[in-house]
Chains A and B, each alone.
Chain A
Amino acid sequence: MDQRGLRNRWGLAFMITLLVLVVCKLAVLQGVDGAAYANAAEQDRLRTFPLDALRGAVLDRDGNPFAYTVDASKVVADPEVVADPERTALALTTLLDVPVPELTEKLSRDSRYVVLANQVPPETTDAIDALELPGVLKEPDPVRLYPAGTVGGQVIGFVGRDGEGLAGIERTFEEELAGTPGSRRVEVGSGGYPIPSGIDESTPATDGDSVTLTLDQDLQYVTEQRLAESCADGATTRASAVVLDVRSGEVVAMGSCPGYDPGNYSETDPDLLGNPLVSSVFEPGSVMKAVTLAAALEEGVAEPGTVLSVNGHIQAGDRVVTDAHDHAPVDWTVTGILAKSSNVGTIMLAREVGDEKLEQYLRAFGLGDTTGIELPGESAGILQDSEDWSGVRAANIAIGQGISVTTLQMASIYQAIANDGVRVPPRIVEAVTGPDGKVTETPEPEGTRVISSETADKMAYMLEAVVGPGGTAPLGQIEGFRVAGKTGTAQRANPDCNCYEGGGYVTTFVGFAPADDPQYVVAVDLERPTSDAEGGQVAAPVFADILRYALTADSVVPSGTARPDFVLTGTP
């Protein structure tokens, strides 16, 4: 009885100890580590699918797409699972348009992940799915499409392989266009189907905003077609043009040749992948005389009818500057000086204005500073302080040499003259539209008055004389409309020697119409290293063709008044 009692007691103690141990372990499993184990089990059943954000579109002012994104897939394979690389390659070769040896090589690699083809359209991936090839899978790989091709390409820019904007609007508005990717977490059963009562939580992706530009796709197309024609003439190596809306300063068209197709940027010469209209500078030549003369009128130095005895050449520092062709003294009015594009007359007037004042006007017209347009890589151009101007430099700057500008800056000067003397910095983005349809309009930049309204009117009159009889650019005329503008033929710096020898010319034409109620400003510049043809001959017709289309397409009513008679010469 005693022994049995002792055994029972020990047995009981043993059982209790065991029970306590079990309970303790249970408590640890359930209470302390429980959450972690439950979590691990759940993670095993959870699948996370990324939800891609659709990149926003880039549209023209009427909503026509310049760039948009569509769904596509990347076809990938797990070579360890692929049973027969040769047969799989044969089945995929026509669908993916990849040669059999390349596919076979990829499918035989000692790897668990190979990319067979990128950006495959949905129809093709459906066909591949139907083949039920083991180890061949697809992953989302959206495609950026540029339906207009080269049209507007330099402005729009492009995205890289990872879908990030690398140039143009795609780069400036990367943050807005990209959107925010989301994800979906689902608890799945053995068949891969979601468990109906299981976890199903998703963070929806926020699609990117779309960017509406001020460009007009049709005018952009016509502009680029016309420039391409110039580039095909054998002498022009680069032709650029920009069209601005006079009142708002909006860029309606902007392009140059040679351009590029953003959808095919990888096969384009990297040197061409910029936007020369905002990033390349050149010496503008005579188109800059408008600034010098506007300064002269505004400062009260001269009037359009003021007569000057203009010689064929003038001493400037240690150099002699001549007119295009040296001539005996002529009694030209200030209008005549502009119409005939006299270097000597312009320098005479610039000296009356003074270097410091002239620099002030040049800067007020936006030179030597970026315009602030929403495009990457904008150049400020080159404008030295007037304190550093030598005698010859001062004379040269008055006639547009020794100063560098972009095509856009050049257009902006004439926008100010056409807009009654108020300069509105050019802009190219009209609005940003969120995926919810909320439109955020780009604030209109504030205009600054550069010259008085009277001076602007006088400038318009004088610039009209350039296109009129006796002017340098009768080819800039547009039937039915009064046109004002200015030619330029500047020596081009030869990049090989950093001198003017062998550099050829940059011929320019900038102007606006209708002169009595300006609507559009067009600036054209052609780089012609091997030709000495003048702006009036080669740039003015391009200007007229582009401006004619802009006016006609916008249903601008032809001028109601006749062109005034211009007094180009007189007696002092």
Chain B
Amino acid sequence: MTRATARVPVGTSSRSTAPRTGSTRTTPRTTPRTTPRSTPRPELRLVPGGQTARTRRRAPRALRHPRAPFVLLVVAMLVGTTLGLLILNTAIAVGSVEATQLRADNAVRAQEVQRLEQQVVAGGTPAEIAAAAVAAGLVPAGPAAYLVIDPDGGSVLRGTPVPAEDPAASEDGD
């Protein structure tokens, strides 16, 4: 007897604890089963007329908990959710429109940058610079002379510097 009673709990407890997390699961399963079984039985015995019992039980509940607030709550929740969704959706849509607008603004800026860069490039071509130089009264430089420093510290003049032509006499554009 003692052997058998000792074996059963060991077996069940080891089965339940090993794969799952314990004996807690076995206890709640057993308790609800026992309570509903035990409670309706005495009720059924005490009151034989089922219909009257139901009406008697319903009427006071309705009186105690009126339906209106619950319905209102549900409606309010529905309306709230819908409004919330609407606001959220609108916010995202506004964001999308804004992003599109910003992208367009960006494109305008890029255009502006491109236009200015184009101006810089066009103004920097040799022909443009030459024309601007002539307009400013500049003339091509004559041959320059160079001072070459020797390793011993002395210096040698290489080349003969020639002054530039008189701008008034020069007609050459380059």
Contacts and interface: CB of A to CB of B under 8 A. Distances in A.
- The judgment on whether A and B are partners is yes
Interface of A: 64-65, 68, 70-71, 122-123, 126, 145, 147-149, 151, 193-197, 217-218, 220-222, 225, 479-480, 548, 552, 555, 557-560
A559 B159 CA distance: 7
B144 A552 contact: yes
Contacts of B126: 148, 151, 217-218, 220-222
Contacts of B93: 193, 196
B46 to A, nearest CB: 41
B62 to A, nearest CB: 38
B111 A147 contact: no
Contacts of A65: 121
Given A147-B125, A151-B126, A557-B146, A71 B159 contact: no
B160 A479 contact: yes
Contacts of A560: 148, 156, 158
B84 interface: no
A147 B148 contact: no
Contacts of B125: 64, 147-149, 151, 217
B127 A221 contact: yes
10 contacts: A64-B125, A126-B111, A145-B118, A147-B121, A193-B96, A193-B100, A218-B126, A221-B127, A480-B158, A552-B141
Nearest to B124: A64
A68 B127 CA distance: 18
Interface of B: 92-93, 95-97, 99-100, 108, 110-111, 114-115, 118, 121-122, 124-127, 130, 141, 143-146, 148, 156, 158-160, 162, 173-174
A194 B100 contact: yes
Contacts of A217: 125-126
Nearest to B89: A196
A544 to B, nearest CB: 12
A480 B142 CA distance: 12
B100 A558 contact: no
B115 A122 contact: yes
Counting chain B CB atoms within 10 Å of each CB, the highest count among A68, A123, A197, A557 belongs to A557
A195 B100 CA distance: 11
A222 B133 CA distance: 14
A65 B121 CA distance: 7
A195 B89 CA distance: 11
Given A145-B118, A149-B125, A558 B159 contact: yes
Nearest to B162: A479
Given A64-B124, A151-B127, A558-B145, A194 B158 contact: no
Nearest to A195: B96
Contacts of B146: 555, 557-558
A70 B114 contact: yes
A123 B160 contact: no
A552 B124 CA distance: 21
A375 to B, nearest CB: 21
B130 A557 contact: no
B95 A225 contact: no
B160 A480 contact: yes
Contacts of A70: 114, 118
A437 B63 CA distance: 81
Contacts of A221: 126-127, 130, 174
A225 B110 CA distance: 36
Nearest to A143: B118
B121 A194 contact: no
A557 B159 contact: yes
Contacts of B159: 480, 557-558
The 6 closest A-B pairs by CB, nearest first: A558-B159, A221-B126, A480-B159, A122-B111, A196-B92, A558-B158
Nearest to B126: A221
A328 B111 CA distance: 76
A123 B127 contact: no
B145 to A, nearest CB: 7
Contacts of B121: 65, 68, 145, 147
A480 B95 CA distance: 71
Given A126-B108, A151-B126, A197-B92, 19 more contacts: A64-B125, A70-B118, A71-B114, A145-B118, A147-B121, A148-B126, A148-B127, A151-B125, A151-B127, A193-B96, A193-B97, A194-B100, A195-B96, A217-B126, A220-B126, A221-B127, A221-B130, A221-B174, A222-B126
Nearest to A558: B159
A196 B145 contact: no
A147 B143 contact: no
B97 to A, nearest CB: 6
Contacts of A193: 93, 96-97, 100
A560 B93 CA distance: 78
Counting chain A CB atoms within 10 Å of each CB, the highest count among B108, B158, B173, B174 belongs to B174
A216 to B, nearest CB: 10
Contacts of B96: 193-196
A252 to B, nearest CB: 14
A555 B143 CA distance: 10
Contacts of A555: 146
A231 to B, nearest CB: 15
Contacts of A123: 111, 115
Nearest to A221: B126
B143 A480 contact: yes
Nearest to A68: B121
Nearest to A557: B146
A559 B158 CA distance: 7
Contact of B174 (A222, A480, A559): A222
Contact of A196 (B95, B127, B156): B95
A520 B149 CA distance: 24
B115 to A, nearest CB: 7
Given A151-B127, A479-B143, A225 B97 contact: no
A221 B125 CA distance: 9
B56 to A, nearest CB: 39
A217 B121 CA distance: 13
Nearest to A71: B114
Contacts of A196: 92-93, 95-96
A122 B107 CA distance: 10
A557 B149 CA distance: 12
Contacts of B141: 552
Contacts of A480: 143, 145, 158-160
B170 to A, nearest CB: 14
Contacts of A197: 92
